[in-house]
Amino acid sequence: MNVKIPGECPAMWRTEYEEKTTTVSDLKGVVSPGSCVYVESGCGEPQHLVKHLILENTKLCDVQVYTSVPLSTYSDFGGDYGSRFRIQSFFISPNMTSAFADGRADHLPMSSLGKYKLFSEGYITINTALIQLSPPDAKGFMSLGVTVDIMRSIIEKADVVVAQINRYMPVTGGDTLVHVRDVDHIVELDEPLVSYPLLEPDPEVMQVGEHISRLIEDGATLQIGFGRIPDAALIFLKGKKDLRIHSEIITDSVVDLAVSGAVSRSSADCREGGITASLCIGSERVFGFVSGNQQVEMRSLSDIISPGTILSREKFTAINGAIEIDLTGQSCVGMGDQMGYFGALGHAVFNRTAMFSPGGKGIIALRSTSRDGSLSRIVPEFTDRKIGIVTTQSDVNYVVTEYGSVNLFGKSIRERALALITIAHPRFRQWLLDEAKRMNYVYEDQVLPPEGAGYPGSYESLCRFGDKGLLVRPVKVTDERAVQNLFYAMSKDDRFHRFLMHVSSLHHKQAQDLVTVDYTSSMALVIQNGQGRQDEIVAVAHIAPEESRGARKVCEFAAMVDPLWQNQGIGTFLLRRMIAVGREMGYSHMRAYVWEDNRQMLKAFEKLGCGMTQELDCHVYRVSLAID
Q: 273, 297 in Cβ contact below 8 A?
A: yes
470: alpha, beta or left? (left if phi > 0; alpha if psi -120 to 50): beta
- With residue 574 as reference, give the H or E element that holds it: helix 570-584
* pLDDT value of position 344: 62
Question: Per CATH, is 203-438 categorized as 3.40.1080.20?
Answer: yes
Task: Determine the pLDDT at residue 265.
Answer: 85
Give the right CATH number for 14-188 from 3.40.50.720, 3.40.1080.10, 3.30.70.260, 2.40.110.10.
3.40.1080.10
**180 conformational bin, left if phi > 0, alpha if psi -120 to 50, beta if neither:** alpha
**CA-wise closest residue to 446 among 380, 368, 511, 381:** 511
Rounded Cα distance between 252 and 267, Å, is: 21
pLDDT tens digits along 7-32: 435 568 999 999 999 999 999 899 99
Contacts of 580 (CB under 8 A, 6+ apart): none
3-state secondary structure of 122: coil
Q: Which pLDDT score, from 0 to 100, does residue 489 have?
A: 96
Q: Give the N- to C-terminal CA distance of the chain in Å, as an integer.
A: 81
pLDDT score of 251: 95
Which of 76-104 are b and which e, b meaning 16 or more Cβ less than 10 Å from the residue's Cβ?
A: ebbeeebebbbbbbbbbbeebbebbbeeb
pLDDT tens digits for range 28-79: 899 999 999 999 999 999 999 999 999 999 899 999 999 998 887 776 778 7
- 430-433 contacts: CB < 8 A, separation 24 or more? 431/376, 432/327, 432/376, 432/378, 432/379, 432/380
Quick one: pLDDT at residue 387? Answer: 72
Selection from 582, 599, 600 nearest residue 591 by Cα:
582
102 neighbors 85 (Cβ within 8 angstroms): no
Weakly modelled stretches of the chain, pLDDT under 50: 1-8, 335-338
CATH topology identical between 14-188 and 461-626: no
Which residues have CB under 8 Å from 603's CB, separation 6+? Answer: none
d(CA 486, CA 104): 59
Given this model, what pLDDT does residue 379 score?
97
For residue 381, indicate whether it is catalytic: no
CA distances to 34, 463, 525, 531 from 398, rounded to whole Å, are 46, 23, 22, 16
| H runs (alpha helix) in 73-183 | 97-101, 112-120, 151-157
Domain ranges, ordered by start, for the chain: 14-188, 203-438, 461-626
Structural fold of domain 461-626: Aminopeptidase (3.40.630)
- Nearest 5°: CA angle at 139, between 138 and 145? 85
Candidate list 248, 272, 297, 415, residue with the active-site label: 248
Question: What are the pLDDT digits (tens) for 562-615?
Answer: 999 999 999 999 999 999 999 999 999 999 999 999 998 998 888 887 678 899
pLDDT for the residue 295: 95
Residue 10: per-residue pLDDT: 58
Give the pLDDT score at 5: 42
Query: What CA–CA distance (Å, rounded) separates 510 from 606?
Result: 30
